[in-house]
Amino acid sequence: MFFPIDKIRSEFPILHQQIYNRPLVYFDNAASTQKPVQVIDAIRHYYEHDNCNIHRGVHYLSMKATEAYEEARKEIREFINARSTHEIIFTKGATESLNLVASSFGKRYIKPGDEVISTIMEHHSSFVPWQQMCLEHGAGFRVAGINERGELDLDELYGMINEKTRLIVLTHVSNVLGTINPVKEIIAVAHRNNIPVLIDGAQGVSHLQVDMQDLDCDFYCFSGHKMYAPMGIGVLYGKEKYLEELPPYQLGGEMIKEVYVDHTTFNELPFKFEAGTPNVEGVAGLRAAVHYLKELGMENIAMYEENLLKYASGKLANLDGMKIYGTAVHKTSLISFLIGDIHPYDVGTIIDKMGIAVRTGHHCAMPLMNYLKIPGTVRASFAFYNTLQEIDLLVSAIVKAKKMLE
């Protein structure tokens, strides 16, 4: 397969810098990805040509900005194959999307004694809103575990389903283990029991082709900044039948139809969930990022990244004292590891001075760290602009760090 890696790398200006007199090697893509010039240019173009508050303006710029914003919504709909643009809500990111559903779903559907099922591999952004929502409404919060490869224990998960279950919430891909969960199968089982499912796709959309109608999930969310788009913009997908029934999350301009002294009627979808002036610049950047990903092709990206993962896994697994957390059969291009009893921060700090950016710590997944009985890991996460040569640099940096620390 031909993958135009040189051209791709030339489109990411930030990668071409020296830090500590060494070329920057960026392996912190699960935290946030870098932005191609196409995305940077789209934001610049927006401010140079289109900037204006959107909706209801009768003047040229307002209509132009509104049109671009709504065109972007159509393209996001197409990108994830949702049925309707009514199902695409622009948010600040995955965290806001998750809080929105936890708050509104909790108010509408959750009663004392009900249960929500989730998993031990959730990011705090998903774990904490559901945990707190359950505490608030007197509901039970049940959490399924994983096997030794870091794959979800499906028997345990399915065994938790009962007549009290109101929702199943899980991540598409673990940000610590890289595990790709069999979400389509889980959704089918949940639906046979009339239970809706929310998928946290924050680590999914940048690696996998996602299709809302094929998955048949009820809610799906993601952040722009993890898929080569700007920070502060994200998406909540929700089936229209649920979004129609849920109460609004935030109140204010844009989300209303009519306001009187004694009552207010709410706007139609998707505006009911988009209170206030939205992040129009972010939407312009997100649209450009979606174009970029479509042009590269999600299948090509997945193939290229799988090769990076295989290469890195093989090299790292051979190092003395190396323990890799997350060896699922289906996983995305990230590797979490510890070496002997060396603290992850020490490894991260030393290899940073060699120009290599990895993430260290609990990765916003403390329940998982407690389950694994470790304080944290070193996480190297790869994107399609990374190379095998960079992985070689990582491996030799780890060997040097290990020598220094032992």
Q: Residue with structure tokens 């060396």? A: 342
Minimum Å gap between C-beta 191 and ligand PLP is 23
- 289 or 393: whose CB is closer to ligand PLP? 289
Establish if 347 lies at the interface with ligand PLP (CB under 6 A). no
Task: At 133, list the tokens.
Answer: 């929502």
Establish if 183 lies at the interface with ligand PLP (CB under 6 A). no
Pair 333, 178: CB distance under 8 Å:
yes
- 234 or 270: whose CB is closer to ligand PLP? 234
Minimum Å gap between C-beta 383 and ligand PLP is 14
- Segment interacting with ligand PLP (CB under 6 A) among 66-74, 88-96, 270-278, 379-387: 88-96
Cα–Cα distance measured from residue 126 to residue 124, given in angstroms and rounded to the nearest whole number? 5
Minimum Å gap between C-beta 118 and ligand PLP is 12
Question: Given candidates 66, 131, 175, 360, which one binds ligand PLP under the rule CB under 6 A?
Answer: 175
Determine which one of 134, 217, 221, 364 is catalytic: 364
Cα–Cα distance measured from residue 61 to residue 57, given in angstroms and rounded to the nearest whole number? 8
Cα–Cα distance measured from residue 237 to residue 107, given in angstroms and rounded to the nearest whole number? 19
Pair 231, 224: CB distance under 8 Å:
yes
Minimum Å gap between C-beta 384 and ligand PLP is 18
Active site (annotated) includes residue 221: no
Q: Which amino acid is at 170?
A: L
Establish if 95 lies at the interface with ligand PLP (CB under 6 A). yes
- 93 or 285: whose CB is closer to ligand PLP? 93
Cα–Cα distance measured from residue 54 to residue 258, given in angstroms and rounded to the nearest whole number? 18
Establish if 313 lies at the interface with ligand PLP (CB under 6 A). no
Pair 176, 204: CB distance under 8 Å:
no
Number of residues near ligand PLP (by CB under 6 A)? 14
Cα–Cα distance measured from residue 152 to residue 330, given in angstroms and rounded to the nearest whole number? 11
Question: Given candidates 35, 77, 86, 123, which one binds ligand PLP under the rule CB under 6 A?
Answer: 123
Question: Given candidates 118, 223, 313, 333, which one binds ligand PLP under the rule CB under 6 A?
Answer: 223
x/- track of binding to ligand PLP for residues 191-210 (CB under 6 A):
---------x-xx-------
Cα–Cα distance measured from residue 162 to residue 127, given in angstroms and rounded to the nearest whole number? 20
Q: Which amino acid is at 271?
A: F
Q: Where in 15-87 does DSSP place strands (E)?
A: 18-19, 22-23, 25-26
Task: At 145, list the tokens.
Answer: 């575990």
Catalytic residues, by residue number, are: 364
Give the binding site for ligand PLP (CB under 6 A).
Answer: 93-95, 123, 125-126, 171, 175, 200, 202-203, 223, 225, 364
